[in-house]
Amino acid sequence: MSELFDEDPRDTPADRPPSRRSRALVITAIVLVVAFFALTTFANFYTNVLWYRDIGFGSVYSRLLWTRVVLFLVFGVLMGVVVAVSMVVAFRTRPLFHPQSPEQSGLDRYRQAVTPIRTWLVIGLALLLGIFAGTSGAGEWRSYMLWRNGVPFERKDAYFGKDIGFFVFDLPWYHFLTDFVMAVTVVALLAAAVVHYLYGGIRLQSPGDRLSGAAQAQLSVLLGVFVLAKALDYWLDRYDLAFQKGSLLTGITYTDDNAVLPAKAILMGIALICAVLFFVNVWRRTWLLPSLGLSLLVLSAILLGLIWPGIVQQFQVKPSEADKESGYISKNIDATRAAYDIDTVAEYRLPASGTPAAAVDAENDQNITSVPLVDPALVRDVFQQNQQVRGYYSTADVLDVDRYDIEGNDRALVLGVRELDQGALNSDVKNWLNLHTVYTHGNDVIAAFANQRGVQNTPLELGDTDRTQWAEGNQPGQDALEQAVGKYETRVYFGENSPDYSVVGKASDDAPSVELNLNTAASGDEDAETTTTYDGAGGVPVGSTFRQLLYAIKFGSTNFLLSGRVNANSEVIYNRDPADRVRKVAPWLTLDDDIYPAVIDGKIEWIVDGYTTTDQFPGSERESFKTMTDDTLQDETGLRTLPTDEINYMRNSVKATVDAYDGTVTLYAWDDQDPILKAWSAAFPGTVKPNSDIPDDLREHLRYPEDMFKVQRYQYARYHVTDPNAWFQDNNRWDVPEDPNPTGTAKSLQPPYRMFVTQPSGLIPSGSDSETEDTVPTDATWSMTSTFVPYKRSNLAAYVSVDSDATSDDYGQIRVIDVIDEQQQGPGQVANNMRSDPTVSATLAEFNRSGNSVSYGNLLTVPVGDELMYVEPVYVRLATTNAANFPILRYVLVSYQGDVGIGRSLSAALESALDGSQQNSDDPTDGTTPTPTPSGEPSDQPTDEPTGQPGSVRELLALAQQEFEAADQALSAGDLAEYQRHIQKAQDYVNQALGTEGGGGGAGSGGATDTPSASPSGASPTP
């Protein structure tokens, strides 16, 4: 009876189909989304084309684009076609009839659902897999281009006798092709198996034959192709052993040579037999032999590939490893030294006699007077507070060091670019017009003499020793650099801190300029702030509405279309970081972390060092690039061209320049014999200019790259040992010392330092070096220096320097000076001794008591005579968060022949150390009071004051009075800078008089630096 009360199904309303309006909205939304992505992609593509053409490297982008497109299509089509054909063949050869069984009955509904749309499924799956495969292929453009353009290294590897070019250029591409074939085969095999199972070709639950003849034939062919490719893979794997990193070394070892290599050959043979068995199975229709072959291959891979090498290593190698591995270690040493270009390092030792202290001229020895006391990592605030001019200008966190000829003297300068810092602008002025059309660029370089001496390179007067000596700044007279190089373009549109993009150019010549510009006081212009208009060659025209639309999409700003500042003559400049510009035009280069500016031929140029690297050099030791270059100054590695950051070959092959005004990028071949550079030059013809095209003015400022030197010193620390047995024992291994002044809590390696170095005259060649004493330069050479300590110890092992003068024939020559005395202190020990010295501690303690903080600068190691001297500047700053606070160079610490000295200048500190008893002198902190000789006669050693040094309170106060009178005269003349300078000197004299009256010698002489002189007013005058 219940059915009488059931509702009539006809009374249930049917589901209404979607209305036309709903379908139209859905279609419209899909079209809009697709159009948005298409337009965004096109805008990105077309603006890239415009940018590369504008910069003059359009061929690079087009060649990269077409290479990737072709690789994408080739490998995408191959994958899609093979998979589609495999599925179609499986469907066409399906059984027309299949026995009734629960399995087949369950598959009937799937067949009914799939069959009507099978064509679309095949096409869709082929397209999807093709996209994945094409993307993978396009990502191998580096391997393809190196294989296509590779050249011989003209050097054979020590294991297989093949040219190294095979390993670097050919082997990676062969591996990719082999892996691709195996991947395609596996995917096609799975696709065919699914189709055969769905349509009855594979019957897992049937009592008879579980595979149809067609299914067995197709699967046998695919399995045969896969195993054949695996055989080729085994053959290629043999060559991989040449640069495989092991627990002992990189390259082939005894176990590899006697167990792994034969195993690879045997496995390759078994794989070939298996492939033949699978192909034969197409006709024989039995899986017995192929299954046995495949089982044998798997079992052999386990026994021969894993167990047997372990047995050889444990029972043959371990008991006499040094003897077994000796020959392989020797090959590793030779390959590593060649790959990192350290096989020409000249090694020396100092004479046992050393240099008598009396023979050291603290005032006039160029190796002493040129020592850089200004620490580029500490003086950023000094540069900004004294030369910033406006709050929206800044310099790099770590400044750069370069050399210039100033009035006939080769001088080291610490310099930075006064770049625009839009982050420092007030929030109320951060609008599109200001950020992208007004505040567009930085201005000029700021430079200081690194050795804390003035233009004439003479010792400073008392009272000036803690003043930064400017070579280029914003005050009158601070233009020594400009006087040396001539007038130059000071506007900086391309820098490390430039804005993302700027729109430049005005509607007509009569239209007012809107870009804010800075005229430094050193230039003689009274108005420090003016406006200008960019007229350089770099910049993409955006006068047309079409281009304005594209850039509005690219940068996400409608102001390109709406703002009146974007006119027919407008250009947009972007990609403004010099390193990024070089990466875009030479994506195959690894860039040095430290790019630096130089004033060359009337313009500011950024100089970028580029490396060619690989991890495929046979036998050479592989190591992480970050590990080898990491120190307290390292920001990030420039490695961009390898899947990992491990390398085992490196060359400084390219020197690149970027014009700071118009962004012009120029690539010069430096190591034009580098095979990798030759390959890339062939891949991108015309992009790298020959070495002979480097202008002489530019060559004077090229220097040995920092990351290259770091990598070489890291590897040389172990590979200075060339005897295999000694290398294995590891008892003469060196290490790079830790920085005694780390910037954080983590321990980091000490960075190398740039300075002028005069090699000791008594150097004795070590070992079998072909270089003799006569080849060692006797003059001061622009160099980069570092030290070595014994592995896991702190005493000094060696001093290393590399000639960094690119105009010299000795450029790149690394010289190592071994330390005979194993008890000679290393950098960390010396720093500890300096700071724990009673006189130093007492002198610097006064700053802590007066509320100031002490910072220690770079600990430099300098050859002096036939000894090594350590120099460390001491900076003092107020312990306050005041933005106007900056460090001031107050003292210099010196350690020479085990004695510590402290003084206001380097010469004074060295004289104090040479005395060997600074605690008994009248004024050790200034080094100004003559020290009695052992006979009681006055010493005639030179002092820091060339005109004689005041000793009594009366003399000091008289000098202070003279300075006050000079200050009054300067004030009357309206010269505030001179007024401030004389006032500061007078204050210093008064402070010294108070210190002398209060107790004179010893640590009490620190009274010459009371709290007033430690304040910011004691530094260079602020603007």
Q: Which helix (H) or strand (E) holds 665?
A: strand 665-669
Q: Is the pLDDT of residue 747 over 60?
A: yes
Say which range, 803-807, 863-867, 1008-1012, has the weakest mean pLDDT.
Answer: 1008-1012
The runs of H, that is alpha helices, within 313-442 are: 321-339, 366-369, 380-387, 432-433
Q: What is the pLDDT of residues 288-336, one digit of tens each?
A: 888 888 899 999 999 998 999 999 999 999 999 999 999 999 999 999 9
Q: pLDDT-derived band of residue 565, with 50, 70 and 90 as boundaries? A: very high
- Mean predicted confidence (pLDDT) in 727-739: 92
pLDDT tens by residue, 786-796 = 999 999 899 99
Query: Higher-confidence residue: 777 or 801?
Result: 801
Regarding predicted confidence, which is higher, 402 or 526?
A: 402
Asked if the model's pLDDT at residue 71 lies above 70, the reply is: yes
Residue 70's pLDDT band (boundaries 50, 70, 90)? very high
In this prediction, residue 49 has a pLDDT band, given cuts at 50, 70 and 90, of very high
b/e 148-162 (16+ beta carbons within 10 angstroms → b): ebbbebeeebbbbeb
Checking if the pLDDT of 229 tops 90, the result is yes
Which pLDDT band, with edges at 50, 70 and 90, does 66 fall under? very high
Q: Can you read off the two tokens belonging to residue 544?
A: 């047309």
Average pLDDT over residues 751-765: 88
- Least reliable range by pLDDT among 259-273, 902-916, 933-947: 933-947
Residue tagged 């003799």 (tokens): 772
97 near 208, Cβ under 8 Å? no
State the pLDDT at residue 415.
Answer: 94
Most confident of 24-38, 198-212, 736-750, 993-1007: 24-38
Residue at token pair 């940018």: 51
pLDDT at residue 1020, rounded to an integer: 37
SS3 string of 621-657?
CCEEHHHHHCCCCCCCCCCCCCCCCEECEEEEEEEEE
Strands 781-790 and 734-735: antiparallel
Closest CA to 331 of 437, 241, 213: 241
The answer, yes or no, to whether residue 501 has pLDDT greater than 80, is yes
Confidence of residue 736 (pLDDT cuts 50, 70, 90): very high
Rounded Cα distance between 920 and 994, Å, is 19
Average pLDDT over residues 523-533: 67
Q: What is the pLDDT of residues 599-632, one digit of tens each?
A: 999 999 999 999 999 999 999 999 999 999 988 7
Helix/strand/coil for 52: helix
pLDDT digits (tens, 9 = 90+) for 277-288: 999 988 877 788
* % of the chain surpassing 70 pLDDT: 83
Q: Tell me, what's the pLDDT at 637?
A: 52
Given a cut of 70, is residue 933 above it in pLDDT? Answer: no
Higher pLDDT, 887 or 167: 167
Banded model confidence at residue 997, pLDDT cuts 50, 70, 90: very low
Average of per-residue pLDDT across 451-460: 85
3-state secondary structure of 698: helix
The pLDDT of residue 206: 65
Which pair of tokens denotes residue 192? 């065919």
Answer with the residue of higher pLDDT: 355 or 269: 269
CA distance 419 to 944: 37
Cα distance between residue 990 and residue 968, in whole Å: 17
More confident residue, 146 or 1003: 146
Q: pLDDT tens for residues 672-715?
A: 999 999 999 999 999 999 999 999 999 999 999 999 999 999 99
Q: What is the pLDDT of residue 920?
A: 38
In the structure, what pLDDT confidence band is assigned to residue 921 with cuts at 50, 70 and 90? very low
What local confidence, expressed as pLDDT, does residue 932 receive? 37
Position 791 scores a pLDDT of 92
Q: Which DSSP symbol is given to 523?
A: G
Residue scoring higher pLDDT (994 or 987): 987
Instruction: Return the pLDDT at 85.
Output: 95
Eight-state DSSP code of residue 689: E
- H/E stretch holding 713 reads helix 706-719
Q: Which amino acid is at 957?
A: L
pTM of the model: 0.85
Q: Which two tokens stand for residue 397?
A: 């966190």
First and final C-alpha spacing in the chain: 105
- Residue 1012: is its pLDDT beyond 60? no
User: Does residue 1010 have a pLDDT over 60?
Assistant: no
The band of 18, judged by pLDDT with boundaries at 50, 70 and 90, is low
According to the model, what pLDDT value does residue 846 have? 80
DSSP string, 929-943: SPPPPTTSPPP----
User: Who has greater pLDDT, 203 or 255?
Assistant: 255
**pLDDT score of 633:** 76
Cα–Cα distance list, 488 to 477, 523, 535, 600, 602 (Å): 17, 11, 15, 8, 4
